[in-house]
A and B are shown apart, each in its own frame.
Chain A
Amino acid sequence: MIGVVRDLGYAVLRFIDHLGKLTIFTGQIVRALVTPPVRVRVFVAELFNLGVLSLVIICVCGLAVGMVLGLQGYNTLVRFGAENSLGAVVGLSLIRELGPVLTALLTTGRAGSATTAEIGTMVATEQLDGLRMMSVNPIHLVVMPKTMAMICVMPLLSALFIVFGLAGGYFVGVNLMGVDGGTYIASLQSAVDYYDDVAGSLLKALVFGVLVGLIATYRGYTCAPTSAGVSSATTSTVVIGSVSVLIFDYFITALWGV
């Protein structure tokens, strides 16, 4: 019994220790951000690795989720004779919640784990030490561009996810279930407000980008320099990243207002 309590205390202390280290790490990234030189080519390469390479999974999943929403939404609304509100239901679900959250979870799994593995391997093969010995700050060259790219990429991917989802919902609702196309779009446009819904959605995606970017690069940077260390760091990125996204989702939703 005492052992359990002791383990719990140890876990809490270790968590707080990690939080502190993560804060210092973030400070180093911010300092690297305002230090010249500007690494445009590296940043563009990371936009490609994190964004373009995630496009397929994001668009396919967006389409699939939209189609499911269209189907489920229709089946539920038709019981109340409210199937003409399908556009609103699909649109609000995607924009307010499913777009940013699912995009963040999918991106954590693909781009986040890839980032952690890449940085972790660089630690294990002494490449980061090699950079230090050449008087190049590894945070400036490797970590900062990856983090900034993740932050920029997340809202873009989220918007694309939502658009594909709306199209999927349209396809199912209008083409398969017989809802009138004009009604779908009109219901969508009247229910969605820029300030309440779209702006909040993009803000969520931005915050998730910061979260996943920091967690993925931190776990890679601090992993044990062995292949087991890299593998464990990659798994923990996915787990911690996903849980953090969901927890922050609640707080942002609550703070952004109704």
Chain B
Amino acid sequence: MNRGAEEDAHVTFTGVDMAFDDRAVLRGLSCQFPRGKISVILGGSGSGKTTVLRLIGGLVHPQRGCIVVAGHDISQLSETQMYVVRAKLGMMFQGGALLDSLTIFDNLAFPLREHTRMGEAEIVAEVHANLAAVGLSGVDDLLPGQLSGGMIKRAALARAIITHPEILLVDEPFSGLDPISVKRIEALLHRINRERHITMLVSSHHIPSTMRMADQVVLLLPEGPVAGSPAELQRSADPRVAGFLNEEREEEPRPETPGAMHEGAAP
């Protein structure tokens, strides 16, 4: 990485070790996520991509290493201290994590009511604006249980960005979606990144959208991370990288031709 990118690093990992009980998930992870760009954390199941996001959010603490988020060293902050840092973060969870006893409107209004002094009319306007931005209007009075998977993800996205965070953490946005919804979410994330200049950190194992969407890719391999732009990774001579890309591609149904059977290695 050149010095220009280092100055623009919004989130920095340095020598991070993370283990759950006896299982080591991350070993000596060092990488940077540049400001204002979409970075995708790519890896297979269990590679630790969700863990990276949880580390950034302060939901878990590393055994070793240093994590700097928007200028704060969060490695050993207490929960109360993390609340200050989290004001700059937004997180879109894999299952949405919407409060299932509240309507969609109340779910989106929740962070505004908790942390701002906005009047009710302002809140209504803000909620409707964000719902429209993700293409979900008219679902105010529905409960999360009444929405489809794609709609839940979009509502969760709206909730994550309604407080205008600097950094958006997105956990597996494409899991469990049909190919059309995948493209829709991809376009949404792209547009929000461009319009609002939010730094996005996305964890995913969906290679095609990763290659289309990402400005930077951090590929978590068991031996260590490999970082680079999508083009660099695809051209990479490293056999493990190529092996991963091909292996994952074989298991994915192609987005352009839904229902197609497995094809051989890409030409």
Residues of A within 8 A of B (CB): 121-122, 125-127, 129-137
A98 to B170 alpha-carbon distance, docked (Å): 54
- Our count of residue pairs bridging A and B at CB distance below 8 angstroms stands at 52
User: Which residue of the partner chain, among B54, B83, B98, B99, contacts A135 with CB atoms under 8 Å?
Assistant: B83
Cβ of B5 < 8 Å from any Cβ of A? Answer: no
User: Are A130's CB and B93's CB within 8 A?
Assistant: yes
Q: A127-B99, A127-B100 are in contact. Are A133 and B86 (CB under 8 A)?
A: yes
Cβ of B94 < 8 Å from any Cβ of A? Answer: yes
**For the side of the interface on B, what is the size category?**
20 to 34
Residue with the greatest number of chain B CB neighbours at <10 A, chosen from A125, A126, A131, A135: A135
User: Are A134's CB and B98's CB within 8 A?
Assistant: no
Main secondary structure of the interface of A (DSSP, over half): helix
Which residues from A are CB-within-8-Å of B97? 125-127, 129-130
User: Are A130's CB and B86's CB within 8 A?
Assistant: no
What would 30 A/B residue contacts be, using CB atoms closer than 8 Å? A125-B95, A125-B97, A125-B100, A126-B94, A127-B97, A127-B99, A129-B93, A129-B97, A130-B93, A130-B97, A130-B98, A130-B99, A131-B99, A132-B57, A132-B79, A132-B82, A132-B86, A133-B59, A133-B86, A133-B90, A133-B91, A133-B169, A134-B86, A134-B114, A135-B83, A135-B84, A135-B115, A136-B110, A136-B111, A136-B114
A130 to B97 alpha-carbon distance, docked (Å): 6
Which residues from B are CB-within-8-Å of A127? 97-100
Which residues from B are CB-within-8-Å of A137? 79
Nearest neighbor of B85 in chain A, beta-carbon distance: A135
Which residues from B are CB-within-8-Å of A131? 99
Cβ of B127 < 8 Å from any Cβ of A? Answer: no
Nearest neighbor of A118 in chain B, beta-carbon distance: B101
Q: A126-B93, A126-B94 are in contact. Are A133 and B57 (CB under 8 A)?
A: yes
User: Are A132's CB and B87's CB within 8 A?
Assistant: no
A127 to B94 alpha-carbon distance, docked (Å): 11
Whole-angstrom distance between the Cβ of A238 and the nearest chain B Cβ: 23
Nearest neighbor of A28 in chain B, beta-carbon distance: B79
Residue with the greatest number of chain A CB neighbours at <10 A, chosen from B84, B91, B97, B114: B97
A127 to B107 alpha-carbon distance, docked (Å): 11
A131 to B160 alpha-carbon distance, docked (Å): 11
Nearest neighbor of B89 in chain A, beta-carbon distance: A133
Q: A125-B100, A135-B115 are in contact. Are A130 and B87 (CB under 8 A)?
A: no
Whole-angstrom distance between the Cβ of B147 and the nearest chain A Cβ: 14
Nearest neighbor of A126 in chain B, beta-carbon distance: B97
A134 to B107 alpha-carbon distance, docked (Å): 11
A133 to B84 alpha-carbon distance, docked (Å): 10
Q: Mark B68-90, 1 if CB is under 8 A from A, else 0.
A: 00000000000100111011011
Which residues from B are CB-within-8-Å of A135? 82-84, 86-87, 114-115
B114-160 interface (Cβ within 8 A of A): 114-115
User: Are B95's CB and A126's CB within 8 A?
Assistant: yes
A132 to B91 alpha-carbon distance, docked (Å): 10
Which residues from A are CB-within-8-Å of B87? 135
A208 to B234 alpha-carbon distance, docked (Å): 64
A126 to B144 alpha-carbon distance, docked (Å): 14
Which residues from A are CB-within-8-Å of B95? 125-126
Nearest neighbor of A37 in chain B, beta-carbon distance: B114
| Nearest 3 A/B pairs, CB to CB | A130-B97, A135-B83, A126-B97
Which residues from B are CB-within-8-Å of A122? 100
User: Are A134's CB and B100's CB within 8 A?
Assistant: no
Whole-angstrom distance between the Cβ of B13 and the nearest chain A Cβ: 19
Whole-angstrom distance between the Cβ of B259 and the nearest chain A Cβ: 30
Whole-angstrom distance between the Cβ of B12 and the nearest chain A Cβ: 20
Known contacts A125-B100, A130-B91, A133-B86; 11 further A-B pairs (Cβ under 8 A):
A126-B97, A127-B98, A127-B99, A127-B100, A129-B93, A133-B91, A134-B111, A135-B84, A135-B114, A135-B115, A136-B110
A137 to B86 alpha-carbon distance, docked (Å): 12
Whole-angstrom distance between the Cβ of A143 and the nearest chain B Cβ: 14
Which residues from A are CB-within-8-Å of B99? 127, 130-131
A127 to B93 alpha-carbon distance, docked (Å): 9
Which residues from B are CB-within-8-Å of A129? 54, 59, 93, 97
Nearest neighbor of A125 in chain B, beta-carbon distance: B95
Which residues from A are CB-within-8-Å of B82? 132, 135
Nearest neighbor of A136 in chain B, beta-carbon distance: B114
Nearest neighbor of B87 in chain A, beta-carbon distance: A135
A129 to B110 alpha-carbon distance, docked (Å): 15
Whole-angstrom distance between the Cβ of A181 and the nearest chain B Cβ: 48
Whole-angstrom distance between the Cβ of A139 and the nearest chain B Cβ: 10
A133 to B97 alpha-carbon distance, docked (Å): 11
Which residues from A are CB-within-8-Å of B98? 127, 130
